């Protein structure tokens, strides 16, 4: 099925595979540098769903010397003050939780910066002259993750909170990613395409994705991609916390369960975390389905995170085809938002 290009073309009406193949170019996008002044004691990023993911990736990138919190709710954290850099991000610009948190941050005199493709957030930014980075249009918000990552980095660099060489690192990572995706595109047959192979292994099952602290944001992204691309139920968990609770949850279930366990492994994780993966898989042998191990590639944290995000996109898009669905639309989410309003 996954080598039938005609079938893929029929299912992929909005070219999700093409977007995944080209997304490395987003890392080279240049935003105008905003003017942001202040001596900040903390960073708060407000965003939901796919719009929160770029902040999770950015926060995992070493170099921050002040607290960096991601807020995914209607309220701004109680400690927000005039010493806070508050970044509101929503691809649509209309996410109600983000708008509500922004309104609270304004009452606390935080320094505001906004990232959006339009909507109410753009209106607020232009009306109040807030630093505003406009995201280029994409088919779905989750297909603009790397644009939003660059936008966050641009804001933090402008505020003096990110090292100046970050853009060179992004350019280098883009070249690495552009080369990597060549192994995952539709024209590469299943026998030589690891993304297709993994999708076939997962088909018909609910996915459970595990990672250590380095790749935890990516495990969350895989969960989102399973949900939105493949229309597949999925969960994610993080080591070492896994060994303190969830680990025992697998001990009383038959191995032949409709789950596919995926371990995202990085050689940059703490050595004890790496050992926990090995020991957990051994002790759970015969108690849960054997883990599909994804050994993430890249010479540094940035490259590994971006590689793993892109690989997960390909895997879940191929899984969508296995499930007989179009990976792009999220009609039920849009219906929910409409009825909620």
36 neighbors 156 (Cβ within 8 angstroms): no
Answering whether pTM is above 0.85, one says: yes
Regarding whether 116 and 263 lie in a shared domain, the answer is no
Residue 340 belongs to a domain:
no
Regarding whether 163 and 35 lie in a shared domain, the answer is yes
Q: What is the pLDDT of residue 256?
A: 66
Residue 257 belongs to a domain:
yes
Regarding whether 168 and 67 lie in a shared domain, the answer is yes
Can you give the CATH number for the domain in which 235 is found? 3.40.50.10490
Residue 189 belongs to a domain:
yes
Q: What is the pLDDT of residue 228?
A: 94
Expressed as residue numbers, the domain containing 215 is 5-13+181-322
Boundary residue ending a domain (140, 173, 206) = 173
Q: What is the pLDDT of residue 253?
A: 67
Regarding whether 196 and 147 lie in a shared domain, the answer is no
Residues 6+ apart with CB under 8 A from 324: 11
Q: What is the pLDDT of residue 334?
A: 79
**CA–CA distance from 17 to each of 9, 20, 116, 276, 336 (Å)?**
10, 5, 24, 34, 26
Regarding whether 221 and 151 lie in a shared domain, the answer is no
DSSP string for 82-111: TTEEEEEEESSS--HHHHHHHHHHHHTT-E
Regarding whether 245 and 189 lie in a shared domain, the answer is yes
DSSP-assigned letter for residue 137: P
Regarding whether 112 and 82 lie in a shared domain, the answer is yes
Q: pLDDT tens, position by position, for the chain (341 residues)?
A: 899 999 999 999 899 999 999 999 999 999 999 999 999 999 999 999 889 999 999 998 867 889 999 999 999 999 999 999 999 999 999 999 999 999 999 999 999 999 999 999 999 999 999 999 999 988 778 889 999 999 999 999 999 998 768 899 999 999 999 999 999 999 999 999 999 999 999 999 999 999 999 999 999 999 999 999 999 999 999 999 999 999 999 988 666 679 999 999 999 999 999 999 999 999 999 889 999 999 999 999 999 999 999 999 999 999 999 999 999 888 888 788 788 87
Regarding whether 98 and 47 lie in a shared domain, the answer is yes
Q: What is the pLDDT of residue 257?
A: 72
Regarding whether 163 and 292 lie in a shared domain, the answer is no
Regarding whether 273 and 258 lie in a shared domain, the answer is yes
Overall domain count for the chain: 2
Regarding whether 96 and 216 lie in a shared domain, the answer is no
Boundary residue ending a domain (173, 204, 233) = 173
Residue 336 belongs to a domain:
no
Distance (Å, whole) CA 146 – CA 185: 19
Residue 45 belongs to a domain:
yes
Q: What is the pLDDT of residue 254?
A: 63
- Return the SS3 of 14: coil
């Amino acid at each position: 099925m996954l080598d039938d290009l005609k079938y893929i073309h029929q299912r992929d009406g909005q070219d999700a595979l093409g977007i995944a193949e080209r997304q490395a170019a987003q890392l080279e996008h240049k935003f105008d540098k905003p003017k942001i002044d202040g001596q900040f004691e903390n960073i708060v990023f407000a965003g939901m769903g796919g719009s929160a993911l770029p902040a999770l990736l950015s926060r995992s990138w070493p170099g921050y010397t002040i607290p960096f919190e991601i807020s995914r709710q209607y309220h701004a954290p109680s400690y927000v003050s005039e010493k806070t850099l508050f970044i509101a991000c929503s691809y649509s610009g209309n996410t109600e939780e983000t708008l509500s948190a922004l309104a609270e941050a304004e009452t606390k005199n935080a320094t505001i910066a906004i990232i959006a493709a339009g909507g109410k957030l753009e209106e607020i930014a232009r009306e109040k002259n807030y630093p505003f980075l406009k995201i280029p249009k994409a088919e779905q918000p989750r297909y603009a993750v790397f644009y939003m990552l660059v936008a966050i980095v641009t804001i933090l660099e402008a505020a003096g909170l990110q090292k100046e060489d970050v853009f060179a690192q992004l350019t280098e990572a883009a070249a690495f990613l552009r080369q990597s995706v060549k192994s995952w595109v539709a024209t590469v047959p299943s026998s030589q395409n690891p993304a297709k192979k993994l999708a076939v292994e997962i088909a018909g099952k609910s996915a459970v994705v595990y990672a250590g602290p380095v790749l935890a944001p990516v495990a969350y992204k895989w969960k989102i991609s399973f949900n939105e691309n493949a229309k597949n139920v999925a969960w994610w968990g993080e080591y070492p916390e896994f060994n303190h609770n969830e680990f025992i949850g697998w001990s009383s279930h038959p191995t032949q369960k409709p789950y596919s366990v995926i371990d995202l492994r990085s050689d940059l994780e703490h050595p004890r975390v790496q050992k926990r993966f090995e020991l957990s898989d051994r002790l759970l042998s015969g108690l849960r389905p054997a883990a599909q191990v994804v050994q993430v590639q890249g010479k540094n944290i940035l490259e590994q995170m971006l590689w793993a995000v892109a690989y997960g996109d390909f895997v879940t898009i191929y899984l969508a085809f296995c499930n007989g669905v179009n990976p792009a639309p999220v009609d039920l989410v849009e219906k929910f938002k409409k009825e909620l309003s």
